[in-house]
């Protein structure tokens, strides 16, 4: 039997129902008359369906009030809510029928900022964004969110004496109108006081160079966060805590307390990886983040790979800024395979690297001694190469799996016989990378490399493999093996027979375009085309690889398995490329 339950009887049910058997059935709910946001909010206010007789009683008793409040939160103050309970069903069925009526609309909207914040650009921008407009349907959540944004912005900007002189919503249910008053009195904006810290790890000049929350500057929480990030990024400290001392505020200034905990003096990292270009890789990296109070540090890395085993050492000296202006001294030993040439490199360098306005500028000089050999070739040359590089990288989202990204890198270096090199040369190189998301699940990745080496024709054979240009491999033109594309020469072997060798080119141009589709959360399918050549001036011959791949997204970057076909070859065959990490 169905019975319409008036409000008076609901109170009686509260007393009677608990006496029923403890094994009373649960409840089914039917909600009609609402849709969209109104329905979703009503279901949220009603909560989960009951799972016991007692909770069912409470659910039924509070149902009308909860639905009514859910509608009022969205501006509907004249709703009619009817309950119909069928206790003969198993489980019981509760039908809630709702007529929301007409919503209350905003009539007067007064949002004001008084005090120093009235001239603050951040507050001016916030007021321009506010969505409370006359004629709109009243939404208490929108009102509450904007009020909270004003309060949060005030705290972030240093208005610690701020208050709301008036904050209220006046509703006239009979006329379906509402008036909103939000008057923010900011008071003065506090300034940063002195930064107090106690440490003997580093010279004060290094610490002060990292503090962006300068004494006397208007308070801005973003400067605190940047200061903390600056200090943490140096690697000198395991933990950095920077916080304002509001208990010590005086004369509209607030001092800062800085606690610095030193990082371990030494750290050792082990790495393992594999790619079809360099095969298996094992590495060990030893770092000493702080050698002395002047902030000097060092990094030593040994890496084994069947293709290019190497050892590197770098010593860092901070100049005007520990993160953004660093002098580097380094050395490198490396064996590598370039085309058909086996190369051994010894390099020493000094470089100054400056970070400014999202750009990284670097200039310095390197001394390279390189020996290389192949059938009919056995050479060793010295090069003294002053140079300059410029780079920029921007990302949005996960650094290893960005939604969008753009990178650019440029380098120029040269050498002269009169300045310690065996030959005169000028070498230019650049590369570019782009990641873009066209829509949900759709992603595009593009790359390009350009290079040129200028030297006399007579010196062309004296250009070392690492200064030549090569193409091919998982990060270049897929479908071709690692560094297998380059200019070819013919030499004679020990038996006097002609042998063709790939020795690289003095020019490089490659371009890659890849479309990716996200099949599942961590899986992507890819289609790509790569093209280009490493060649000597005037001898460009396009090499094209096309293929498809499957990528699995991990915390260390994408695991990529690509199959590519060198379609411009006379007898093309598929090649597998496997790699782990970011696209560029």
Please, how many CA atoms are within 13 Å of residue 183, restricted to the half-sphere of its CB? Answer: 5
Average pLDDT for residues 95-108, to the nearest whole number?
A: 95
Expressed as residue numbers, the domain containing 206 is 191-262
Average pLDDT for residues 184-195, to the nearest whole number?
A: 95
Q: What is the band of 7 on the pLDDT scale with cuts at 50, 70, 90?
A: low
Mean of the per-residue pLDDT values for the chain? 91
Looking at the fold, whether 70 and 113 belong to one and the same domain comes out as no
Q: pLDDT tens for residues 449-461?
A: 999 999 998 999 9
Least confident residue range of 258-267, 360-369, 491-500: 491-500
The residues facing 258 across adjacent strands are: 242
Q: Find tokens 């003969």 and name the residue.
A: 88
Q: pLDDT tens for residues 206-242?
A: 999 999 999 999 999 999 999 999 999 999 999 999 9
| Rg, the chain, Cα only | 35
- Percentage of the residues of the chain whose pLDDT score is greater than 70: 95
Average pLDDT for residues 96-117, to the nearest whole number?
A: 95
DSSP codes, 189-203: PPEEEEEE----SS-
Residue 324 located in a structural domain? no
Looking at the fold, whether 398 and 519 belong to one and the same domain comes out as yes
Looking at the fold, whether 161 and 42 belong to one and the same domain comes out as no
Looking at the fold, whether 360 and 218 belong to one and the same domain comes out as no
Cα–Cα distance for residue pair 576/564, rounded to 1 Å: 7
Cα–Cα nearest to 429, from 469, 461, 394, 383: 469
Say if residue 271's pLDDT is above 70: yes
Looking at the fold, whether 406 and 514 belong to one and the same domain comes out as yes
Residue 326 located in a structural domain? no
- Residue that is last in its domain, among 53, 71, 99: 99
Contact predicate 122/186, CB 8 Å: no
Q: Find tokens 């051994």 and name the residue.
A: 344
Average pLDDT for residues 344-354, to the nearest whole number?
A: 97
Residue 289 located in a structural domain? no
Cα–Cα distance for residue pair 420/366, rounded to 1 Å: 11
Residue 325 located in a structural domain? no
The residues facing 577 across adjacent strands are: 562
Contact predicate 301/285, CB 8 Å: yes
Looking at the fold, whether 196 and 151 belong to one and the same domain comes out as no
Average pLDDT for residues 386-411, to the nearest whole number?
A: 93
Looking at the fold, whether 496 and 436 belong to one and the same domain comes out as yes
What CATH number does the domain containing 510 carry?
2.40.160.50
Contact predicate 525/519, CB 8 Å: yes
- Percentage of the residues of the chain whose pLDDT score is greater than 90: 80
Looking at the fold, whether 442 and 542 belong to one and the same domain comes out as yes
What CATH number does the domain containing 244 carry?
3.10.20.310
- Residue that is last in its domain, among 232, 262, 292: 262
Residue 52 located in a structural domain? yes
Task: Return the higher-pLDDT residue of 399 and 441.
Answer: 441
Residue 345 located in a structural domain? no
Q: pLDDT tens for residues 467-515?
A: 999 999 999 999 999 999 999 988 877 777 788 899 999 999 999 999 9
Neighbour count for residue 69 (Cβ, 10 Å): 13
Q: In this predicted structure, what is the pLDDT of residue 6? A: 54
Say if residue 17's pLDDT is above 60: no
Cα–Cα distance for residue pair 330/314, rounded to 1 Å: 4
Say if residue 20's pLDDT is above 80: no
Looking at the fold, whether 118 and 232 belong to one and the same domain comes out as no
Q: In this predicted structure, what is the pLDDT of residue 399? A: 82
Q: pLDDT tens for residues 34-49?
A: 999 999 999 999 999 9
Residue 321 located in a structural domain? no
Cα–Cα distance for residue pair 489/504, rounded to 1 Å: 9
∠ at Cα 258 (253, 259), nearest 5°? 155
Q: pLDDT tens for residues 317-330?
A: 999 999 999 999 99
The residues facing 31 across adjacent strands are: 96
Q: What is the band of 555 on the pLDDT scale with cuts at 50, 70, 90?
A: confident
Looking at the fold, whether 161 and 228 belong to one and the same domain comes out as no
Cα–Cα distance for residue pair 436/333, rounded to 1 Å: 37
- Residue that is last in its domain, among 99, 116, 137: 99
Looking at the fold, whether 575 and 479 belong to one and the same domain comes out as yes
Q: In this predicted structure, what is the pLDDT of residue 272? A: 86
**Number of structural domains the chain divides into:** 4
SS (H, E, C) 314-366: EEEEEEEECCCEEEEEEEEEEEEEECCEEEEEEEEEEEEEEEECCEEEEEEEE
Please, how many CA atoms are within 13 Å of residue 19, restricted to the half-sphere of its CB? Answer: 5
60 burial class (0-12, 13-18, 19+ CB within 10 angstroms)? buried
Q: In this predicted structure, what is the pLDDT of residue 2? A: 44
Looking at the fold, whether 513 and 426 belong to one and the same domain comes out as yes
Residue 416 located in a structural domain? yes
């Amino acid at each position: 039997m169905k019975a319409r339950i008036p409000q008076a009887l609901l109170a009686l049910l509260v007393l009677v129902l608990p006496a029923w058997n403890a094994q009373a059935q649960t409840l089914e709910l039917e909600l009609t008359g609402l849709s969209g946001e109104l329905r979703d909010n009503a279901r949220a206010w009603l909560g989960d369906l009951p799972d016991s007789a007692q909770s069912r009683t409470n659910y039924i008793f509070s149902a009308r009030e909860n639905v009514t409040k859910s509608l009022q939160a969205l501006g509907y103050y004249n709703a009619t809510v009817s309950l119909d309970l069928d206790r003969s069903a198993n489980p019981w069925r509760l039908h809630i029928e709702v007529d929301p009526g007409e919503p209350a609309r905003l009539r007067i909207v007064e949002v004001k900022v008084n005090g120093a914040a009235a001239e603050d650009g951040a507050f001016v921008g916030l007021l321009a964004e506010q969505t409370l407009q006359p004629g709109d349907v009243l939404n208490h959540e929108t009102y509450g969110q904007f009020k909270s944004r004003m309060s949060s912005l005030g705290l972030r900007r240093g208005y610690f004496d701020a208050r709301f002189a008036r904050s209220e919503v006046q509703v006239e249910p009979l006329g379906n109108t509402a008036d909103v008053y939000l008057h923010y009195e900011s008071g003065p904006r506090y300034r940063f006081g002195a930064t107090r810290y106690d440490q003997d790890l580093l010279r004060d000049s290094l610490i002060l160079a990292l503090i962006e929350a300068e004494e006397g500057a208007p308070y801005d929480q973003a400067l605190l966060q940047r200061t903390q990030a600056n200090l943490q990024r140096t690697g000198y400290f395991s933990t950095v805590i920077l916080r304002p001392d509001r208990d010590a505020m005086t004369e509209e200034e607030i001092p800062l307390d800085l606690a610095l905990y030193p990082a371990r003096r030494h750290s050792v990292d082990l790495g393992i990886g594999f790619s079809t270009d360099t095969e298996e890789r094992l590495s060990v990296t030893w770092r000493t983040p702080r050698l002395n109070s002047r902030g000097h540090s060092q990094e030593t890395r040994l890496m084994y790979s069947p293709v290019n085993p190497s050892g590197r050492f770098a010593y860092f000296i901070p100049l005007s800024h520990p993160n953004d202006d660093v002098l580097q001294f380094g050395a490198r030993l490396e064996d590598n395979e370039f085309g058909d040439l086996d190369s051994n490199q010894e390099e020493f360098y000094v470089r100054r690297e400056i970070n400014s306005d999202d750009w990284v500028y670097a200039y310095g000089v390197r001394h390279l001694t390189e020996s290389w050999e192949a059938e009919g070739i056995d050479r060793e040359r010295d090069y003294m190469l002053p140079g300059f590089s410029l780079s920029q990288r921007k990302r949005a989202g996960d650094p290893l799996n960005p939604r969008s990204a753009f990178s650019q890198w440029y380098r120029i270096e040269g050498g002269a016989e009169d300045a310690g090199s065996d030959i005169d040369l000028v070498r230019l190189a650049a590369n570019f990378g782009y990641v873009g998301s066209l829509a949900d699940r759709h992603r595009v990745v593009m790359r390009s490399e350009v290079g040129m080496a200028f030297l006399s024709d007579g010196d062309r054979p004296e250009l070392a493999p690492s200064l030549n240009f090569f193409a091919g491999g998982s990060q270049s033109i897929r479908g071709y093996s690692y560094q297998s594309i380059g200019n070819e020469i013919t030499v004679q072997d020990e038996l006097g027979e002609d042998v063709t060798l790939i020795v690289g080119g003095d020019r490089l141009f490659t371009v890659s375009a890849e479309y990716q589709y996200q099949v599942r959360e961590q899986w992507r399918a890819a289609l790509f085309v790569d093209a280009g050549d490493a060649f000597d001036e005037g001898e460009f011959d396009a090499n094209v690889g096309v293929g498809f791949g499957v990528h699995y997204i991990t915390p260390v970057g994408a695991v990529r398995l690509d199959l590519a076909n060198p379609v411009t070859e006379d007898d093309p065959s598929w090649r597998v490329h496997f790699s782990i990490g970011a696209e560029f």
